[in-house]
Structure 1
Amino acid sequence: MLLPSTAWAQPFTDANIAPLIEKLKTDNEWERENTIKMLNQIGSPATPALIEALKDPNVQVRRRAAYALSQTDPALEADVISDLQATLKDSDKYVRISTIKALGHHFPVGTIRPILIHDLRTALKDPEKYVRISAIETLGYIHAKDAIPDFLTALRDSDKYIRISAAQALGGIVRNNSKDLTEEEVKAIVSNLRTALKDPEKYVRINAAKALSSLTVGIKAKAAVIDLSAAFKDPENEVRISAAQALGEIIRGIYNDSLSNFYEQLNFGLKTKEVILQLRAGLKDLEKEVRKISAQALGEISSASLYRDPYELLRFGAKNEDVVSDLSAALKDLEKEVRISAANALEEIGRSIARYPQDSIGAKAANNTVPALSKALEDLDKDVRINAAKALGQIGKKAKDTFPIRSNAVPILSAALKDSEKEVRISAAEALGEIGAKAKDAVPNLRAAFKDSEKEVCITAAKALGKIGMEARDAIPDLRVALSDPDINVRISAAYALGEMGAEAKDAIPELSAASTGQEGVYWRTVQILEEIALSLKKKAQTLPTSDLEKVISNLEAAWSALDISEDDYIGSKFSDNDYYLLPAKRGLSVLNIRLSLEILKATRDSRLFNQKLRNQWLWATGIYLISLPILWLLLLWLRRRKSMRFG
């Protein structure tokens, strides 16, 4: 049994601990294990007795003392470590094994570290293989970079367990020391691990692949890409999974390292065509993890190629539309994780597809992708639907003027606004916003989504309406009502949407003015929205009907009066290159733009009134002229006749 709680109140002495050390001699396994647990509970006070027990002539006592030391929590003192070092030469292999584990468990730092690493490396030559295995595991556990040559030698050992341990140890080393490895060390590690990928023992192959993926997230292991691709044909599921994971990490590392030099790094004089072909084949692998990772890697490669040049993959024997077609087929995979990865990959590709015009490979890829993604919006799994919606949004982003989105995308995204999962509704709204004005047919459903019970959906729908712009003018009444919503984020998103609609939102000026009261953040956002509307109205001042112009001026005058404007708001209270100090100046510019727009609108109105008055004056003059002219002629005729009669 374990020590009772009352025992902790008593100080531990040699007299207390000696009986426990004696019990280590028992053949009763339960009692022996319980004794070791008691010694572990005692901790540091028991350490001297355990160290002394390492010299006991009874081999069982030495074994159990060494094992107990390998399990204790407290760090060991330097002199205790020295005693353990001596035990590395014990005649019993199990004592040596437990001692090695104890040293790994309590491995010190400082000047003694190099000495211990030297001793552990010496243990790699032990005649007992399990001692060598323990030494390899411990050196890997403590990330002993100096032992790399020993691990590489062990990778060629005739014993499979030695090779497995060496591959695992190298994985630990490169995960924790990758940035510190020299170019020569990296070359040696990669070369040996590539050979290990063909080892007859599957666990060697698995750990070799894992170690390769750990080299600075794979960047330094790029020379092994072809070997990892070949490992996709391995008969063992676990090997293919590890190879796929490693290949994915390497490609991801290259991709993230430098997009501009992506293909210079990826090609590296080898047949990159084989990599792409293996990844495409990996989409049909029997193991779902391989299919999932293949989809991810293909998405990253294709996305980078499209971003750089839509014809880039042709150099490697693959068309983007073929890759997209394979990924689209993967959207029908029986495993949801694969479908999610395929949708994610298509989203990545979608980010780049939108860059290219109708006659490009990007457009062809888009046209091949949209139907499959639209179908994926009906998937039973919400994560698939979410990623499908995001992918459609990315394809639509910046593409509205370069190539048409298939007609079935907007209606299906619009229908997805009624999905039972809020995340799907949010993603659908985001996607429709990315498509922009081309998504005008979705405005009715976006208006309904704006009244969703989930605030996040409301906010996203408002932003989408704003991105659709003037084509969403029918939503202005809903957005005006939302300006009085108790949720600050709803109010801000509604104001943003109205601002995007410009002059079309002129009737919302009173509500925006009312919304400007309260928190400073809302106030200044509202001022900026009023500025956008005012500037838009200024541009359209000449075309506004007079009645609308009068109403706009009246509303802006009222809004101006409601704003808490100070002199600092005009000029900015402070000014420097720091954004924090530029903020007042930016706000001041917004205020000035509102006032300037208002004055221009008023000047336009006054000009109209003057012109109208002037026109009226000419009309009166013309009327008087037209009326008086006949009278004048009649008068002249009468006078002439009278004169003639007088002298006749």
Structure 2
Amino acid sequence: MRLTRWIARIKAALGGRRESALTINDAHVRSGVEIEALIATLRQQAPDMRRGANVSLTDLGVDDAFVPALVSTTRDTDAYFRASAIHALADYDLRQHPQAESAVLHALTHDTEADVRAAAVLTLGMQSEAVAHAHLPACLQALKDPSAEVRREAVQVLGRWSSAPVVAALRARLHLDTDVDVRIWAIQALARCDTANAMADLFAATADLDGSVRAAALDALCECLDREDTTLRDLLLAALSDPVPEVRRQAAQGLRFGPPQVLPALLAVANDPEPRVRLEVVIALGWQRDAQAVDAIAARVFDEADEEVRYYAVSSLGEQHDARATQHLITAFQTPALGQRVRVGALWALGDSGDAAALPILLAALGDADAEIRAQAATSISNLHRGSHADAEQALPALTQALRDDDEDVREQAARALVAVCTLPALHALLSGLHEHNSAARQALQRAIAAREEEEAAAAERTGLGTVHYE
């Protein structure tokens, strides 16, 4: 009867009802029969159906009673079951199960299928540090496996440990391996486990014949070195002219927080033929916050074919805090051909610009036919004048009208904007003046006022001023 229940549970999982099947609470003692039943049921499925069902040998959970069956399955004639059993054993402490440990090691060194050997490396890497270190020689040997798949897993596992043999082996993979992904993963592993001693190897990898490897090396160097490092800066500047777009993209990203000296080089590649590169360049130019960059960024708004680049360009304009940038953003919002996302982005950037000249266009946008535009306009007004009540009188009529909007999000954002630009006494007066039939508007404003009062009370408590009272 118990076996029947488990077969039903397995079939439910195979039928796509895994969540409900796996929540069954059985109080009986677990038995190896359960895992055997799962394997038997999977064996009845065609290979494509079996994999498509997304059912694994871990679906029954972890229990010592399953170990003997899993160990036996590591010698199955079907590589799918051997790999599945090895993966399932990763959830067990191999120190407590010597037979399982031997099975994993045997699979790593003797199995004819790369998938199974790769699973064995991964299983060893998922063990506790003490267990994993005990099998360091086996993982190091896996770096010489004829299959790139196995070598990749070995590199990933070894990158978690820092020791002289590991670093030496990873450096060898970086310089000698014929597989691009192995070299890339070796770069990432070296950057994690021995940055200081691997620096020369990372610099050397920026001259790799494969562009993806060069890009990975630049990324690792940016993570490891200070952006003020002149050697790294010169390397990134030179990489802006690399023939591979991914390298140029990584170089532009690395220069994102560069000193003013990198501005001419960024301006020179602002029209790169690859959209991904232009995207990173426009972000880097935004971080420069230099008046010389404004027109180059604006060109990526109005002359750009890629919407993603246009969107980030308006964001970068908002970071310039420049009067010309504000005018470009106003024009962008008023140009429907640029696309909805870009126009909404332009409104967001106007709120981020800190330029009071943006307020009239934001107030006008509160009357736009599109609810998303109206909501963003209210948010931007809040961001533009948070904590400043100088323009409350100018903004109050339009925001009060938006508080009665048919769209709930617009009402909520308008209420928050009112809280940002008005004093609390003025807000309470406004709330009192709202008619009872405007219940949605009243509720939105009440929530915003309550949030503001909670923030101020918390701030007063932090500074030791006690409770704040309003007349």
What TM-score do the two structures reach when normalised by structure 1?
A: 0.50
For the pair 1:151 / 2:133, whether they are aligned, the reply is no
2:344 paired residue among 410, 413, 426: 426
Given residue 298 of structure 2, which amino acid in structure 1 is its aligned partner?
Answer: S
Match of 1:621?
A: none
Match of 2:294?
A: 370
1:109 paired residue among 71, 74, 92: 92
Compute the displacement of 1:104 (Å): 0.8
SS in 2 for 1:234: coil
| CA–CA distance in structure 1, aligned partners of residues 101 and 197 of structure 2 | 31
> What does the per-residue CA deviation read over 1:534-554, in whole Å, with 9 as the maximum and x for residues that have no partner?
xxxxxxxxxxxxxxxxxxxxx
> What does the per-residue CA deviation read over 1:560-612, in whole Å, with 9 as the maximum and x for residues that have no partner?
xxxxxxxxx9xx9x999589x97xx33xx2x22xxxxxxxxxxxxxxxxxxxx
> What does the per-residue CA deviation read over 1:269-326, in whole Å, with 9 as the maximum and x for residues that have no partner?
xxx4333233233333333333333322322x53xxxxxxxxxxxxxxxxx2342333
Checking the alignment, whether the CA contact within 8 Å between 1:96 and 1:131 is kept in structure 2 is: no
> What does the per-residue CA deviation read over 1:110-165, in whole Å, with 9 as the maximum and x for residues that have no partner?
45445533553356555x8x47984454122452423333323443x4x653x762
Checking the alignment, whether the CA contact within 8 Å between 2:318 and 2:325 is kept in structure 1 is: no
Paired residues for 1:545-560 under 5 Å? none
For the pair 1:499 / 2:438, whether they are aligned, the reply is no
Match of 1:192?
A: 169
Which protein shows a greater Rg? Answer: 1
2:202 paired residue among 225, 228, 245: 228
Compute the displacement of 1:187 (Å): 5.4
User: Cα gap change, 1:477/1:45 in structure 2, threshold over 3 Å: closer, same or farther?
Assistant: closer
Checking the alignment, whether the CA contact within 8 Å between 1:432 and 1:464 is kept in structure 2 is: no
Alignment coverage as a number of residue pairs: 403
Match of 1:448?
A: 364
> Where in structure 2 are there 5+ consecutive unaligned residues?
9-33, 44-54
Percent of aligned pairs with the same amino acid: 23
| CA–CA distance in structure 1, aligned partners of residues 390 and 165 of structure 2 | 63
Given residue 228 of structure 1, which amino acid in structure 2 is its aligned partner?
Answer: L
User: Cα gap change, 1:237/1:575 in structure 2, threshold over 3 Å: closer, same or farther?
Assistant: closer
> What does the per-residue CA deviation read over 1:38-70, in whole Å, with 9 as the maximum and x for residues that have no partner?
xxxx9734869999xxxxxxxxxxxxxxxxxx9
SS in 2 for 1:332: coil
Given residue 353 of structure 2, which amino acid in structure 1 is its aligned partner?
Answer: I
Compute the displacement of 1:412 (Å): 0.5
Match of 2:398?
A: 478
| CA–CA distance in structure 2, aligned partners of residues 526 and 99 of structure 1 | 61
| CA–CA distance in structure 2, aligned partners of residues 367 and 87 of structure 1 | 67
Compute the displacement of 1:484 (Å): 4.2
Match of 2:121?
A: 139
2:326 paired residue among 403, 410, 433: 410
Compute the displacement of 1:194 (Å): 2.9
Higher helix proportion, which one?
1
| CA–CA distance in structure 2, aligned partners of residues 451 and 458 of structure 1 | 9
Match of 1:169?
A: 154
User: Cα gap change, 1:290/1:448 in structure 2, threshold over 3 Å: closer, same or farther?
Assistant: same
Given residue 382 of structure 1, which amino acid in structure 2 is its aligned partner?
Answer: E
> Where in structure 1 are there 5+ consecutive unaligned residues?
1-7, 13-41, 52-69, 255-261, 303-319, 354-365, 397-404, 532-568, 593-648
SS in 2 for 1:233: coil
For the pair 1:340 / 2:279, whether they are aligned, the reply is yes
| CA–CA distance in structure 2, aligned partners of residues 289 and 324 of structure 1 | 20
User: Cα gap change, 1:134/1:246 in structure 2, threshold over 3 Å: closer, same or farther?
Assistant: farther
SS in 2 for 1:197: helix
User: Quick check: 233-242 or 373-382, which moved more?
Assistant: 233-242
Compute the displacement of 1:443 (Å): 4.0
Match of 1:324?
A: 263
Match of 2:254?
A: 297
| CA–CA distance in structure 2, aligned partners of residues 202 and 47 of structure 1 | 35
For the pair 1:458 / 2:377, whether they are aligned, the reply is yes
User: Cα gap change, 1:117/1:246 in structure 2, threshold over 3 Å: closer, same or farther?
Assistant: farther
User: Cα gap change, 1:125/1:458 in structure 2, threshold over 3 Å: closer, same or farther?
Assistant: closer
> What does the per-residue CA deviation read over 1:219-262, in whole Å, with 9 as the maximum and x for residues that have no partner?
864654553343232222343344355456xx1xx6xxxxxxx8
Q: Which structure would you say has the larger RCO, counting Cα contacts within 8 Å and 6 or more residues apart?
A: 2
User: Cα gap change, 1:498/1:112 in structure 2, threshold over 3 Å: closer, same or farther?
Assistant: closer
| CA–CA distance in structure 2, aligned partners of residues 187 and 527 of structure 1 | 60
RMSD, aligned α-carbons: 4.9
